[in-house]
Amino acid sequence: MSTSSSSSSIKTSRWLAFHALLVFAFLYLPIAILILYSFNGQGVGGFPPRNLTLSWYRILFSDAPIWDSVLNSLLVAAAAMLIALLFGIPAALAVDRANFPGKALFRRLVLLPLILPGIITGLSLLMLFRVAEVKLSLLTIILGHGTALISVATTKVFAGLQKLNRAQEEASLDLGATYWQTFWRITVPNLKLSIIGAALLIFTLSMDEIAVSFFLIGRDNTLPLEIWGRLRRGITPEINAISTIIFMFSLLTIVVWYRLRTRAEVTPEIGAELVETAGRS
Amino acid sequence: MATTTEAGFTDKSKPDSTSLLSIRSVAKHFGKNIVLRDISLEIAEGEFLTILGESGSGKTTLLRILAGFEQPTSGEVWMQGERLDTQPPYRRRVNTVFQHYALFPHMTVEQNVGYGLQVAKRPAEEIKSRVAEALAKVKMSTFAKSKPSKISGGQQQRIALARALVNRPRLLLLDEPLSALDANLRREMQVELKALQREVGITFIFVTHDQEEAMVMSDRIALLRSGELEQVASPREIYHRPATSYTAQFIGHTNLLYADVRQGTAMCDRLVWPTSLPDGSALFSLRPECIRLARIAPPAIGSANPLSNIRFRATLRDQAFHGATDLLHVESDGGLILTIRIASHDLPNSKAPLEFEFSAADAIPVRDSDNKNEERR
């Protein structure tokens, strides 16, 4: 009885492992192939890739329009990040600690753009700019990304505020610091990590945003739209090459973020553990 | 209205003429929930006052009103002729030691302690010397450069204390500061804290739910019960002369005797003792240690007023060993269950009834806390 049940559980776990492998392949195989083919000497076709070469990267680096679009995207991402943080941080503070009529509604509405399809955000902003007779340009994209990503800043910073020990702020007031001094000396340093996290997330989200940008684009392309435009004229491994670079860049951002987080959060815990074990012996 | 606080034992519960803090009819409501009602209390300069109460009694709310984190719904707080409750927390010369210390994790121990002086824009040399002095006072000088997360709970406790005291407040509030420490460290800190308070001479208001802690440390105890002051008195007085049955039960153990008083004699079951109370029903508190095993031989005639030494027979129900003392549960002939504390002593494990006695003076009349409308007789 017991042996058959244990053998069936082994079977189940094997099956699950296989399933996990499939999921993993499904997620990462396309990316792996994309990277592989950026070195393919025979264009996009043909399996397996042959005559591995760096020439696509050489072509990419002398391709001025691509780099213009990269610069545009960086500019848009940086500006959108600033806008989102500028509005998102006070919104998070308001949701966390202010009491005002309609707060529950405000809280839900601020978070709504997270779920709202980009098409709707883009289209509604496009109509707004039409009515206001604003010419579409990088500025409209910045405004679009900025507003769409406020909710990301708000959620991240709000989560940080929830973890913040309010007694610390009370202690600061108690020790003679005004509300303003307390905000800058206690609240902000404690939120630093959440703010950096929000900034990185907003930056990367803006970098690869297509739907909103598509509606608000003027004459200057962002990188995703440039790539998309070229794909319509036929795919070349140059696209694979730029995608590979984007992928590496994203990976680097994630690594930087994790390093920051582990440095800030894990070290004190290890420290406390050491003190505890030292105290016991 | 104010009878609860006075409770007939007025001399020690009244403040000295040098009153530092005056709490006047303070009440606090959170919506429909009444947390404090009509609290009036005078606190003397240099006093160690403990606000004692169960969780939910409103003690932390009262402390937060003094610190400035809550506004009283009605009533006023005055400190030396100045209205305190209308001031923001940062303008009060009141500092707080928080329950979980609330040290700033992104600052070193030194920066934590110097924070108050720094925001007050004191000169750098002064900050340096005062921080060093405060750290020395709590024996934490060697940890000046550590981050709070790298030191133990007891050490964090000391830093929180130094951080508050370095500002030389008129009043120090302590919100259950020892509750997170283990029992041994706790007892150690109780003694240390009391000594420190005597040394610096600052008025301490200490909040706790631990009656033993309150007894060890305080000059006076203010016992809070569901938002009202039950009794304010010195530890000895509150123990030996509890005003109400709640006080008697909350502070230490007691036996509550519901007695009938007729012509100067109280009768509870078959126990009879003299009292000065008028006729009617009355409630008495008799501490377990006030009952003792009677000697086999009855006392010699004329040795004492026989009426003041009340003897009774009871059978032992169980005996619990507590180290220096034993706690007995006995059932008297009349079926009355009593708790008795005697010096540790092995009693014969037989069903034979034993002889006990207590002094009439130890049966303290108390007001029945469960029946608030009943007038004190």
Burial of A62 (0-12, 13-18, 19+ CB in 10 A): exposed
Same domain flag for B218 and B281:
no
Burial of A265 (0-12, 13-18, 19+ CB in 10 A): exposed
Given the structure tokens 């929000």, which residue do they identify? A198
Do the beta carbons of residue B18 and residue B79 sit within 8 Å? no
Same domain flag for B227 and B354:
no
Q: To the nearest whole angstrom, how far is the Cα of B87 from the nearest Cα of chain A?
A: 12
Are A174 and B94 an interchain contact pair (Cβ–Cβ within 8 Å)? yes
Lowest model confidence (mean pLDDT) among A96-105, A126-135, B324-333: A96-105
Burial of A258 (0-12, 13-18, 19+ CB in 10 A): exposed
| Interface membership of B115 toward A (CB under 8 Å) | yes
Q: What is the largest CA-CA distance in chain B?
A: 79
Q: How far apart are CA A43 and CA A37, in angstroms?
A: 8
Same domain flag for B159 and B83:
yes
Are A178 and B69 an interchain contact pair (Cβ–Cβ within 8 Å)? no
Picking from B246, B265, B300, the residue at the C-terminal end of a domain is B246
Tell me the whole-structure pTM to 2 decimals. 0.76
HSE-CB of B222 using CA atoms within 13 angstroms: 29
Same domain flag for B88 and B189:
yes
- Whether B162 maps to a domain, the answer reads yes
**CATH classification (class only), A64-280:** mainly alpha
**Closest Cβ–Cβ partner in A175, A274, A279 for B163:** A175
Q: Where are the alpha helices (DSSP H) in A44-137?
A: 55-61, 64-97, 103-115, 118-131
pLDDT digits (tens, 9 = 90+) for A165-198: 889 999 999 999 999 999 999 999 988 888 988 9
Q: Minimal Cα distance from B105: which residue of A? A: A190
Same domain flag for B212 and B282:
no
Tokens of B331: 């059932």
Are A170 and B96 an interchain contact pair (Cβ–Cβ within 8 Å)? yes
Q: To the nearest whole angstrom, how far is the Cα of B46 from the nearest Cα of chain A?
A: 20
Q: How many helices (H) and strands (E) does chain A have?
A: 12, 0
Given the structure tokens 């195989």, which residue do they identify? A29
Q: Is the pLDDT of residue A114 over 80?
A: no
pLDDT digits (tens, 9 = 90+) for A142-152: 999 998 899 88
Q: How confident is the model at residue A75 (pLDDT cuts 50, 70, 90)?
A: very high
- Whether B371 maps to a domain, the answer reads no
Higher confidence at residue A253 or residue A4?
A: A253
Same domain flag for B361 and B260:
yes
Same domain flag for B323 and B208:
no
Chain B residues within an 8 Å CB radius of A177: 90, 115-116, 119
Do the beta carbons of residue A127 and residue A120 sit within 8 Å? no
Picking from B227, B246, B265, the residue at the C-terminal end of a domain is B246
Q: What is the mean pLDDT of chain A?
A: 83
Q: Is the pLDDT of residue A37 over 60?
A: yes
Same domain flag for B241 and B286:
no
pLDDT for B23: 93
pLDDT for A214: 87
Same domain flag for B144 and B181:
yes
| Interface membership of B98 toward A (CB under 8 Å) | yes
Chain A residues within an 8 Å CB radius of B167: 175-176
- Whether B237 maps to a domain, the answer reads yes
Do the beta carbons of residue B207 and residue B60 sit within 8 Å? yes
Residue to mutate among B149, B155, B170, B171, with most A CBs inside 10 A, is B149
Q: What is the CATH number of the domain that holds B362?
A: 2.40.50.140
Q: How far apart are CA A197 and CA A199, in angstroms?
A: 5
Q: What would the mean pLDDT of A101-113 be, rounded to a whole number?
A: 82
- The gap from C-alpha A207 to its chain's centroid, in whole angstroms, comes to 9
Domain residue spans of chain A? 64-280
Among left, alpha and beta (phi > 0; psi -120 to 50; other), residue B244 is: beta
pLDDT digits (tens, 9 = 90+) for B98-109: 988 899 998 999
- The gap from C-alpha B270 to its chain's centroid, in whole angstroms, comes to 34
| Interface membership of A185 toward B (CB under 8 Å) | yes
Structural domain containing residue B236: 3-246
Cβ partners under 8 Å of residue B273, min gap 6: B265, B266, B307, B308, B310, B360, B363
Q: What is the CATH number of the domain that holds B157?
A: 3.40.50.300
**Closest Cβ–Cβ partner in B90, B100, B105 for A177:** B90
- Whether B376 maps to a domain, the answer reads no
| Interface membership of B206 toward A (CB under 8 Å) | no
- Whether B373 maps to a domain, the answer reads no
Whether this model's ipTM surpasses 0.90 comes out as: no
Q: Minimal Cα distance from B175: which residue of A? A: A167
Chain B residues within an 8 Å CB radius of A272: 149-150
Q: Minimal Cα distance from A190: which residue of B? A: B106
pLDDT in tens, chain B (377 residues): 333 444 444 444 444 457 899 999 999 999 889 999 999 999 999 999 999 999 989 999 999 999 999 999 999 999 998 999 999 999 999 999 998 889 999 899 999 999 999 999 999 999 999 999 999 988 899 999 999 989 988 899 999 999 999 999 999 999 998 888 888 888 888 998 999 999 889 999 999 999 999 999 999 999 999 999 999 999 999 999 999 999 999 998 899 999 999 988 898 888 888 888 889 899 999 999 999 888 655 555 544 555 678 888 888 888 888 888 888 899 888 888 999 998 887 776 667 788 888 998 899 999 988 765 444 43
Picking from B224, B246, B268, the residue at the C-terminal end of a domain is B246
Residue from A181, A237, A279, A250 nearest A40 by CA = A237
Number of domains in chain B: 2
pLDDT for B321: 87
Same domain flag for B190 and B298:
no
Q: How far apart are CA B217 and CA B211, in angstroms?
A: 10
pLDDT for B3: 39
Do the beta carbons of residue B269 and residue B338 sit within 8 Å? no
Given the structure tokens 């209308």, which residue do they identify? B86
pLDDT for B115: 95
Q: To the nearest whole angstrom, how far is the Cα of A203 from the nearest Cα of chain B?
A: 27
Are B119 and A177 an interchain contact pair (Cβ–Cβ within 8 Å)? yes
| Interface membership of A174 toward B (CB under 8 Å) | yes
